[in-house]
Amino acid sequence: MRETPKLTYIKELSGGDLEFENRLLSVIDKEFPFEKETYYKNLKDKNYQKVAENVHKLKHKINILGLEKSYAIAVAYENDLKENNDELKNEFEDILKTITTYLNQL
Protein backbone atom coordinates (compact mmCIF):
# COMPACT_ATOMS: atom_id res chain seq x y z
CA MET A 1 0.00 0.00 0.00
CA ARG A 2 1.30 3.40 -0.99
CA GLU A 3 1.77 6.10 1.66
CA THR A 4 -0.08 9.34 1.28
CA PRO A 5 1.39 12.71 2.22
CA LYS A 6 0.38 14.12 5.57
CA LEU A 7 0.70 17.67 6.75
CA THR A 8 1.40 16.72 10.38
CA TYR A 9 5.02 17.91 10.31
CA ILE A 10 4.14 21.14 8.51
CA LYS A 11 1.39 21.84 11.06
CA GLU A 12 3.85 21.21 13.91
CA LEU A 13 6.35 23.63 12.36
CA SER A 14 3.72 26.28 11.75
CA GLY A 15 2.18 26.25 15.21
CA GLY A 16 -1.18 26.84 13.54
CA ASP A 17 0.03 29.64 11.24
CA LEU A 18 -1.90 28.88 8.04
CA GLU A 19 0.01 31.50 6.06
CA PHE A 20 3.29 29.77 6.94
CA GLU A 21 1.84 26.37 5.98
CA ASN A 22 0.69 27.74 2.62
CA ARG A 23 4.07 29.38 1.94
CA LEU A 24 5.94 26.16 2.74
CA LEU A 25 3.64 24.11 0.51
CA SER A 26 4.04 26.73 -2.21
CA VAL A 27 7.85 26.41 -2.05
CA ILE A 28 7.61 22.62 -2.27
CA ASP A 29 5.14 22.90 -5.16
CA LYS A 30 7.48 25.29 -7.00
CA GLU A 31 10.77 23.42 -6.40
CA PHE A 32 9.63 19.80 -6.65
CA PRO A 33 8.97 19.64 -10.43
CA PHE A 34 12.38 21.16 -11.22
CA GLU A 35 14.19 18.84 -8.80
CA LYS A 36 12.31 15.84 -10.21
CA GLU A 37 13.19 16.84 -13.77
CA THR A 38 16.87 17.20 -12.83
CA TYR A 39 16.75 13.77 -11.17
CA TYR A 40 15.42 12.15 -14.36
CA LYS A 41 17.97 13.95 -16.55
CA ASN A 42 20.89 12.79 -14.42
CA LEU A 43 19.45 9.28 -14.23
CA LYS A 44 19.17 9.16 -18.02
CA ASP A 45 22.84 10.20 -18.20
CA LYS A 46 23.67 7.49 -15.62
CA ASN A 47 25.43 10.12 -13.51
CA TYR A 48 24.74 8.30 -10.25
CA GLN A 49 26.67 10.74 -8.07
CA LYS A 50 24.49 13.61 -9.30
CA VAL A 51 21.39 11.41 -9.00
CA ALA A 52 22.36 10.76 -5.36
CA GLU A 53 22.54 14.54 -4.84
CA ASN A 54 19.09 14.92 -6.43
CA VAL A 55 17.67 12.22 -4.17
CA HIS A 56 19.27 13.97 -1.19
CA LYS A 57 17.37 17.18 -2.00
CA LEU A 58 14.12 15.36 -2.75
CA LYS A 59 14.22 13.28 0.43
CA HIS A 60 13.82 16.44 2.53
CA LYS A 61 10.54 17.18 0.79
CA ILE A 62 9.53 13.55 1.30
CA ASN A 63 10.20 14.00 5.02
CA ILE A 64 8.34 17.30 5.26
CA LEU A 65 5.32 15.66 3.63
CA GLY A 66 5.28 13.02 6.37
CA LEU A 67 6.17 10.05 4.17
CA GLU A 68 8.16 8.09 6.74
CA LYS A 69 8.54 4.78 4.88
CA SER A 70 9.25 6.65 1.66
CA TYR A 71 11.91 8.70 3.42
CA ALA A 72 13.64 5.48 4.52
CA ILE A 73 13.57 4.25 0.91
CA ALA A 74 15.04 7.57 -0.28
CA VAL A 75 17.88 7.34 2.27
CA ALA A 76 18.69 3.78 1.18
CA TYR A 77 18.45 4.73 -2.51
CA GLU A 78 20.76 7.71 -2.02
CA ASN A 79 23.34 5.48 -0.35
CA ASP A 80 22.98 2.79 -3.03
CA LEU A 81 23.47 5.35 -5.80
CA LYS A 82 26.79 6.35 -4.30
CA GLU A 83 27.81 2.73 -5.05
CA ASN A 84 26.34 2.98 -8.60
CA ASN A 85 23.42 0.77 -7.57
CA ASP A 86 19.97 1.86 -8.77
CA GLU A 87 17.93 -1.14 -7.56
CA LEU A 88 15.51 1.08 -5.62
CA LYS A 89 14.80 3.27 -8.67
CA ASN A 90 11.26 2.02 -9.27
CA GLU A 91 10.25 2.34 -5.63
CA PHE A 92 11.68 5.87 -5.49
CA GLU A 93 9.95 6.87 -8.70
CA ASP A 94 6.63 5.61 -7.28
CA ILE A 95 7.21 8.03 -4.41
CA LEU A 96 7.80 10.86 -6.89
CA LYS A 97 4.52 9.99 -8.62
CA THR A 98 2.67 10.02 -5.31
CA ILE A 99 4.03 13.48 -4.47
CA THR A 100 3.29 14.79 -7.97
CA THR A 101 -0.31 13.61 -7.71
CA TYR A 102 -0.64 15.15 -4.25
CA LEU A 103 0.79 18.51 -5.30
CA ASN A 104 -1.43 18.61 -8.39
CA GLN A 105 -4.46 18.30 -6.08
CA LEU A 106 -3.50 21.30 -3.92
What is the spatial distance between Cα 33 and Cα 99, in angstroms, rounded to a whole number?
10
Task: With respect to residue 46, please indicate whether it lies within any of the assigned structural domains.
Answer: yes
Task: With respect to residue 12, please indicate whether it lies within any of the assigned structural domains.
Answer: no
Q: What angle do CA 78, 80, 82 make, to 5 degrees?
A: 75
pTM: 0.94
pLDDT (tens, 9 = 90+) of the chain, 106 residues, equals 679 999 999 999 999 999 999 999 999 999 999 999 999 999 999 999 999 999 999 999 999 999 999 999 999 999 999 999 999 999 999 999 999 999 999 8
What is the spatial distance between Cα 23 and Cα 39, in angstroms, rounded to a whole number?
24
What is the count of structural domains for the chain? Answer: 1
Task: With respect to residue 8, please indicate whether it lies within any of the assigned structural domains.
Answer: no
DSSP 41: H
Task: With respect to residue 23, please indicate whether it lies within any of the assigned structural domains.
Answer: yes
Task: With respect to residue 11, please indicate whether it lies within any of the assigned structural domains.
Answer: no
Task: With respect to residue 36, please indicate whether it lies within any of the assigned structural domains.
Answer: yes
Task: With respect to residue 6, please indicate whether it lies within any of the assigned structural domains.
Answer: no
Task: With respect to residue 90, please indicate whether it lies within any of the assigned structural domains.
Answer: yes
Instruction: Domain of residue 26: give its range.
Output: 17-104
